[in-house]
Structure 1
Amino acid sequence: MSPFLATPIRLAALALSLAAGPALAADNPLQPSPAWEDMRSGVIGSDTEPPIDPAVFDLDAPVRAENPALVPIRVTQAPGAPRITKLALVIDQNPAPVAGEFTFGPATAPLDFEVRVRVDAYSDVRAIATLEDGRQVMAGRFVKASGGCAAPAGGGAKAREGMGEMRFRAEPQGDRAMGTLMIRHPNFSGLQRDQVTLLNIPAEFVQTVELKQGDETLMTMEGGISISENPVFRLGYKPNGQPVAAHAEDTDGRVFDASFPAAGG
């Protein structure tokens, strides 16, 4: 069995570390960013800066990342906040700043979402949310980290083993569940070097993800090189009693599919 999917205990420990990591963020607000000024219109289609409104949503990230290749990011909303339909996650100083563009279905409101990213230099990490009424709102943190995009793959020579294996776990939380999707994939950034040949490893990463319960979409992602190796997504949602299905595709045309029991199943 792949070490990535070794045991439920490993999955639970990883989920716990994801949940705990962003809680360290308290005093790292966004900083002035010329890079963001240059890219803003291209990313959000407007020169107008989206307002920061913690009443709509917030983003947490560690002040200083323990591992720049595995930086936990958590986006949360309070009950009653307007529903987020889309989210663009941007790491200003990364070689490819847009880490991922996400959509979320109605069952995920209010949003509680976590993902691990690579941070290549001290940088603002920001999320731009599109609300159900079309408004855009922003939240973010300044994260001290460097070298995340070029950090060697954790599995070394075995990084490709089990590629495409997926695991999903749903933990009940009242009338909701917190689902954790794990995908085995090295997500090579194109900036890493083979430790034997010292040549750059070509970019090869999970490009799209779709998570559904029955016919209802929970989340989709269009991702890039800034999503960490072995991507992990945690997402709160309201179960509808249907099984959960995950579909992913990578940049080399590989297609991965898996289905899992309904929450509590």
Structure 2
Amino acid sequence: MTSIDTARRQTARKTAIALISSALALFAVASQAPAETGLSPEEKAAQTDSAWPDLKSELFGDKTLIENTATIAIDAPKRATDPAVVPVKLTFDPKMQVRKVTLVIDENPSPVAATFAFADGAKISQLSTRVRVNAYTNVHAVAETADGKLYVTKTFVKAAGGCAAPASKDPETASREMGKMKMRVFKTDDPGVHEAQLMIRHPNNSGLQKDQVTLLYIPAHFITDLELDKGGKPLFTMTGGISISEDPSFRFRYGADDTGPFHAKATDTENMVFEKSFDNVQS
């Protein structure tokens, strides 16, 4: 990566953190407003104007987003068991050469959950992660192909409170385990397609969670950047926000050369860097 690329990533990272901080501040103020009564979550969702038109304009300008296509598909539970850990699976048509994917949770305080950039030759055909969902919402996924065209798909998820849900571990344990990484590989039916999963220990605090003892808000602290290589060749990068769940997990299928070790590097909002090479990966 050149110094120019590094500078651009650092600038984008600072901008993203500033935007997320502003969104959290606005959300905290809004959360103090008197709650509506007598309406079910479904009725509230129906009465709320969709955030998508404004988000679409802000993120993609006046570009055309092609709908009803097999280029990208999204799968998530219609009603989430745990709003703080909602599984989302994205599947891509390998022939379409998807290069970038933006995952948007429309009604979250910071809607852009993550942006993934796929390396040339990585042949990523599937990617799964876990997200927080704060209110009944559409979840959009927008894929950009090598020719610059944009393809969109969506699904509706019934969940609420995921961004403010307490962490599953106490702060001391979370701090002690922070940055630990694990990689797993899985067998597939296609010898030309490989599957693996990267798991990272990190609280990924959203800034909306409260300390269960002091009842004060826990400052946002989450992974902003992730780089994953295989045998020295890049597979994908991620720019993430508060909507990625605690202990981020990324399971993916790829068609690139499977020789050499995996290497992962993650950076968080406090400029902590976690890096590991995986010479022996368990299946």
Shorter-chain TM-score: what band? Answer: 0.7 to 0.9
How far off is 1:51 after superposition? 1.5
Deviations 1:110-134 (A, max 9, x none): 5210010000000010111100111
2:96 partner SS: coil
**1:248 lines up with 2:263 in the alignment:** no
**1:91 lines up with 2:109 in the alignment:** no
How far off is 1:105 after superposition? 2.0
Equivalent residues of 2:183, 2:281 under 8 A apart? no
- What TM-score results when the alignment is normalised by the length of structure 1? 0.83
**Distance in 2 of aligned mates of 1:258 and 1:217:** 14
With over 3 angstroms needed to count, the CA separation of the structure-2 counterparts of 1:234 and 1:128, relative to structure 1, is same
Equivalent residues of 1:153, 1:159 under 8 A apart? no
**1:102 lines up with 2:116 in the alignment:** yes
Number of matched pairs: 233
Match of 2:67 among 48, 52, 59: 52
Letter of the 2:264 partner, please give it.
A
How far off is 1:33 after superposition? 5.9
How far off is 1:248 after superposition? 0.3
Q: Which runs of 5+ in 2 are unaligned?
A: 1-45
Match of 1:41 in 2: 57
If you compute each CA radius of gyration, which structure gives the higher value, 1 or 2?
2
How far off is 1:107 after superposition? 4.2
Q: Which has the higher helix share?
A: 2
2:210 partner SS: coil
Deviations 1:225-252 (A, max 9, x none): 0000000000111343111100000001
**Distance in 1 of aligned mates of 2:153 and 2:204:** 26
Q: Map of 1:224-235 to 2, 5 A cutoff? A: 224-235=241-252
- What TM-score results when the alignment is normalised by the length of structure 2? 0.78
**Distance in 2 of aligned mates of 1:161 and 1:138:** 40
Q: Which runs of 4+ in 1 moved over 6 A?
A: 262-265
Letter of the 2:75 partner, please give it.
D
Q: Which runs of 5+ in 1 are unaligned?
A: 1-30
With over 3 angstroms needed to count, the CA separation of the structure-2 counterparts of 1:90 and 1:136, relative to structure 1, is same
With over 3 angstroms needed to count, the CA separation of the structure-2 counterparts of 1:122 and 1:113, relative to structure 1, is same
How far off is 1:106 after superposition? 3.6
How far off is 1:160 after superposition? 2.3
**Distance in 1 of aligned mates of 2:70 and 2:216:** 48
How far off is 1:43 after superposition? 1.2
Q: Tell me the percent identity.
A: 44
Match of 1:185 among 186, 194, 202: 202
**1:133 lines up with 2:150 in the alignment:** no
Match of 2:279 in 1: 261
**Distance in 2 of aligned mates of 1:56 and 1:246:** 27
Match of 1:152 among 146, 166, 177: 166
